[in-house]
Amino acid sequence: GIQVEQSPPDLILQEGANSTLRCNFSDSVNNLQWFHQNPWGQLINLFYIPSGTKQNGRLSATTVATERYSLLYISSSQTTDSGVYFCAVEASGGSNYKLTFGKGTLLTVNP
Amino acid sequence: NAGVMQNPRHLVRRRGQEARLRCSPMKGHSHVYWYRQLPEEGLKFMVYLQKENIIDESGMPKERFSAEFPKEGPSILRIQQVVRGDSAAYFCASSQGTGNGEQYFGPGTRLTVT
């Protein structure tokens, strides 16, 4: 099946810093989503971005489908940004509905 | 517009008991997915259902686990004779369609088996 790799696995920032999280995937995809799992365990949808670039406030994401990677940018980080960021993809063809998740990036933002 | 609803949010069961987890999809969504998050394994797909149909249960353990999505009412994930290894967070997601359909996740049910 499709493989999803996220980097870095852990990231520690000071409040106000910027960061870039990366997601590589091994095959073509119909769907790519970024999630934030907050300290209470809830999965929050950040972006639905199978290709192109989107922005939402301090967050933006870019997916280059032809090169099989996506980037999540967090600017002016805040302590509430702490948590785990997951990339998940839906492979093209075959059983194209289940999301395959990466292992996540654990982000800690210190005040 | 209510999101995906799951209940209970926390469930404690003794070994050998049954666990029933409920999921109500977002309004207008007819596709439901269950995922499990184990500490060492991350988030994994379990089953995909549409109303009255199991489309893909390839991620479900072969024994003790079952799922349904009846014509009326929520989707149910049922775990019989729970064991400690079933302790995990179980997430339900829903979408309007498949193949280019964004999935929205519920808050999860945290099952603890004592």
Q: Is a pLDDT exceeding 90 seen at residue A70?
A: yes
Contact A4, A87 (CB under 8 A): yes
Q: Is B6 exposed, middle or buried, given 0-12, 13-18 or 19+ CB atoms closer than 10 A? A: buried
Which residue has tokens 């049910």?
B109
Nearest to A30 among B42, B91, B100 (CB): B100
Cross-strand bridge partners of residue A105: A85
**Per-residue model confidence (pLDDT) at position B99:** 58
Question: For the residues A4-30, what does the mean pLDDT come to?
Answer: 96
A62 pLDDT band, cuts 50/70/90, is very high
When scoring B23, B44, B96, B102 by the number of chain A Cβ atoms within 10 A, the one with the most, hence best to mutate, is: B102
Candidates B34, B2, B5, B24; CA nearest to B70 is B24
Distances, alpha carbon B6 to alpha carbons A16, B28, B57, B93, B106, in Å: 35, 16, 20, 10, 6
* B34 at A interface, C-beta within 8 A: no
**Per-residue model confidence (pLDDT) at position A94:** 67
Which residue has tokens 């654990």?
A106
The SS3 of residue B14 is: coil
The SS3 of residue B32 is: strand
Distances, alpha carbon A44 to alpha carbons A37, A83, B16, in Å: 6, 11, 33
**Per-residue model confidence (pLDDT) at position A18:** 97
Which residue has tokens 């702490």?
A82
* B3 at A interface, C-beta within 8 A: no
Contact B51, B71 (CB under 8 A): yes
Question: For the residues A81-90, what does the mean pLDDT come to?
Answer: 96
A76 pLDDT band, cuts 50/70/90, is very high
Q: Is a pLDDT exceeding 80 seen at residue A96?
A: no
**Per-residue model confidence (pLDDT) at position A92:** 86
**Contact residues, chain B, for A45 at CB < 8 Å:** 102, 104-105
Return the sign of the alpha-carbon dihedral for residues B88, B93, B99, B102: negative
CA dihedral A95, B3, A20, A58 (to 10 degrees): 150
**Per-residue model confidence (pLDDT) at position A66:** 95
Contact A99, B45 (CB under 8 A): yes
**Per-residue model confidence (pLDDT) at position B2:** 74
The SS3 of residue A3 is: coil
What is the residue-wise DSSP string for A20-69? EEEEEESS-EEEEEEEEE-TT--EEEEEE-SSEEEEETTEEEEEEGGGTE
Q: What's the rounded Cα separation, in Å, for the pair B79 and B66? A: 7
- pLDDT per position in chain B (114 positions), as tens? 579 999 999 999 999 999 999 999 999 898 999 999 998 788 999 999 998 899 999 999 999 999 999 999 999 999 999 999 999 999 999 998 765 689 999 999 999 999
In chain B, % of residues over pLDDT 90: 83
List, for residues B19-32, the tens digit of each pLDDT value.
Answer: 999 999 999 898 99
B104, closest residue in chain A (CA to CA): A45
**Contact residues, chain A, for B3 at CB < 8 Å:** none
Nearest to A96 among B43, B99, B110 (CB): B99
